[in-house]
Amino acid sequence: MTSAPPLPDILDSLVALTAQRERRTLEISLLTTLRELLKDCTVALYNCRWIDGHPWWRIQLDSLDELPQQAQPWTLPGAKMLRILLQQDERQDVYSTDTGLCLPLYQANQVVAVLMITPHAGARVDHTLLLALARIHENFLNLLHASDSDTLTGLFNRRKFDNQLFDQVAQQQASTPRLPYLALLDIDHFKQVNDGYGHIIGDEVLLMLAQRMQQFFGEDDGLYRYGGEEFAILFCAVSDEKAQAILEGFCTRIATQPFPQVGQVTVSIGFARLGSCMVPAQVIERADKALYYSKTNGRNQVNQFEALQQQGMVSEAEVASGDIDLF
């Protein structure tokens, strides 16, 4: 059996692990930490996502520098792993597999990731150390979820939106093949839903809309509850036309899939491109003006600020640089 790592090395690893404030960097930090501490093992981390009650998984890339299109596709796990993810067998801290050990990681009692440990010839794994690091990771994952998520819908909250929009604008990714966009989405006539059916049904509409957003948009798209019945989406597309088509596809899906007890629900969307030399307040104002145009010109439609600006339908307010508030 390999000797346990020195205590200073373990403490350094814990410091690095608990310094993370984003889920992906937290996962990469856990992966790096375990590979350093379990040198006689191969360590892999698989992310899990749930769609209509079914788990899909894919291996976590080792670096934040990897492009989204280089990620492995989501696949259905094999029968044995599927039983573990669905918790159909007696729950264990560590499961034995054909190649080594499997350690599920949980959030709100649902598996969100899986550690796969394959010991090299003759090596044995320190289960106590492995479990301790896994539980620390789970605790931080739950803390991040609590601070970044909207309690009703499970989407990211306004605080998370502010931070990620600021980061997105600061990166100024104008040279990349895919262009970044901000879309603001508003449920049409939502006050009538609350007044006619009550706030409990209104909350169900918000929750169901959030679930349909998660099903429609990709894992790398940022989905946020912006406030009340308004939502925000940070996403990328190869062109303005493609971005318009993506959002129109979502708009159509919402309009054609009835909501229980309420019937048809529609949404209005306005979006804008994130350009270089912009500040977050400018991007939000542009998307908001496009959203306002959609709502005052028939609703249940998608409009882009830049296209409306070219047609003379909207204009951008001139704001002195010293007067701009980031948020």
Instruction: Enumerate the active-site residues.
Output: 229
Do the beta carbons of residue 195 and residue 242 sit within 8 Å?
Answer: no
Buried b / exposed e over 170-196, threshold 16 CB at 10 Å, is eeeeeeeebbbbbbbbbbbebeebeee
Biggest CA pair distance of the chain: 73
